[in-house]
């Protein structure tokens, strides 16, 4: 199986230039589905911390790059909406947030904010033992004893995962939130602050003015009001409830840099040299990001 895919076919959320080269790295299976962006793209194309896949592998081998509190070693691991990236040696922390047009961008945060992450509840079901399991937008699941206050569409903030995370959301001890502990709950209701994460208005923020319930299986419509703006209308699956702490400042957001047609050539050459011992026929064909 090829480790590459054509740039023109990548999801709109990927912060890559589509017309500079033919291929880009392909994300591994993991959280966020097809919208997950390979970590290599974040490290190289967005942050500029590495110039090649070889450099990315070396950096990840130092256990100093964390995703949601856990060291990550796979440069193809998908990174997606509301994930927390921590660079411990640099003491830099970022939240992945939908930017203009739905492209994922990075918002700088502090170390305390990096201890937890936001998740939209997309499923709720009873499991053996009498507990209720909540499923979040990225596939993460956790158990809650009192599920009556949680409804699909709500958002919760949970303590970041680590190698010993159990997924149990019971009370935590210690100063910081324990992995899986629910530390905040934002209800999906009129007046809630939301961001659109997909559709024509992806990246826009406002308050829910009205939720229009649609009969049958069609999604509900959501009218969102904006300060100094006309507001917008979208469907409920395209919005996520947040609070002001999750929006960040525009100047703190980093998106993929604009690039000309030859901007990636040095990177491609470095990557091809770095991985010459590992290339398959498919990788040779897709050597743009190798």
- pLDDT per residue as tens digits for the range 132-143: 999 999 999 999
**Residue 224 resides in a domain:** yes
| pTM, to two decimals | 0.75
C-alpha closest to that of 14 among 53, 58, 62, 46 = 46
- pLDDT below 50 — which residues of the chain? 1-2, 6-11, 18-19, 22-23, 163-173, 249-251, 256-288, 290
User: Domain tally for the chain?
Assistant: 3
Residues 265 and 242 reside in one and the same domain: no
* Secondary structure of residue 214 in the 3-state scheme: coil
**Residue 13 resides in a domain:** yes
Residues 70 and 54 reside in one and the same domain: yes
Residues 236 and 177 reside in one and the same domain: no
d(CA 243, CA 126) in angstroms, rounded, equals 28
pLDDT attached to residue 260: 38
**Residue 163 resides in a domain:** yes
Domain end call among 170, 186, 202: 186
Residues 62 and 128 reside in one and the same domain: no
**Residue 164 resides in a domain:** yes
Residues 240 and 216 reside in one and the same domain: yes
pLDDT attached to residue 90: 94
User: Which residue segment(s) compose the domain that 150 sits in?
Assistant: 115-186
- Cβ–Cβ under 8 Å, residues 167 and 213: no
* Secondary structure of residue 86 in the 3-state scheme: strand
The dihedral sign for the CA sequence 35, 38, 42, 48: negative
Residues 241 and 280 reside in one and the same domain: no
Residues 30 and 62 reside in one and the same domain: yes
**Residue 238 resides in a domain:** yes
**Residue 237 resides in a domain:** yes
* Secondary structure of residue 147 in the 3-state scheme: coil
Domain end call among 186, 214, 235: 186
Cα–Cα–Cα angle for 156, 162, 166, nearest 5°?
A: 70
Residues 264 and 228 reside in one and the same domain: no
CATH of the domain at 35: 3.10.290.10
**Residue 100 resides in a domain:** no
Residues 267 and 227 reside in one and the same domain: no
Rounded (10°) CA dihedral 54, 57, 59, 60: 170
**Residue 92 resides in a domain:** no
pLDDT attached to residue 30: 60
CATH of the domain at 125: 2.40.50.740
Residues 119 and 182 reside in one and the same domain: yes
């Amino acid at each position: 199986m090829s480790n590459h895919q054509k740039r023109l076919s990548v999801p709109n959320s990927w912060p890559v230039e589509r017309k500079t080269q033919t291929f880009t790295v392909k994300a591994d299976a993991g959280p966020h589905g097809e919208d997950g962006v390979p970590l290599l793209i974040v490290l190289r194309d967005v942050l500029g911390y590495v110039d090649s896949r070889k450099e990315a592998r070396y950096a990840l081998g130092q256990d100093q790059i964390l995703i949601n509190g856990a060291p990550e070693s796979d440069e193809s691991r998908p990174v997606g909406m509301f994930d927390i990236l921590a660079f411990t040696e640099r003491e830099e922390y970022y939240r992945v947030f939908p930017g203009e047009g739905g492209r994922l961008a990075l918002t700088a945060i502090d170390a305390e904010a990096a201890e937890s992450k936001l998740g939209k509840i997309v499923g709720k079901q009873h499991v053996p033992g009498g507990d209720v399991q909540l499923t979040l937008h990225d596939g993460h699941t956790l158990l809650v004893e009192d599920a009556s206050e949680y409804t699909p569409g709500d958002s919760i903030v949970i303590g970041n995962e680590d190698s010993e995370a159990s997924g149990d959301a019971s009370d935590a001890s210690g100063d910081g939130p324990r992995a899986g502990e629910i530390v905040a709950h934002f209800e999906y209701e009129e007046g809630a602050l939301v961001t659109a994460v997909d559709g024509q208005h992806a990246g826009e923020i406002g308050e829910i003015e009205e939720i229009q319930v649609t009969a049958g299986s069609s999604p509900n419509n959501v009218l969102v009001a904006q300060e100094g703006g006309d507001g917008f209308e979208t469907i409920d699956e395209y919005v996520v409830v947040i609070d002001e702490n999750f929006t960040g400042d525009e100047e703190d957001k980093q998106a993929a840099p604009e690039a000309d047609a030859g901007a990636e050539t040095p990177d491609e050459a470095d990557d091809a040299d770095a991985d010459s011992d590992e290339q398959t026929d498919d990788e040779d064909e897709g050597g743009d990001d190798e």
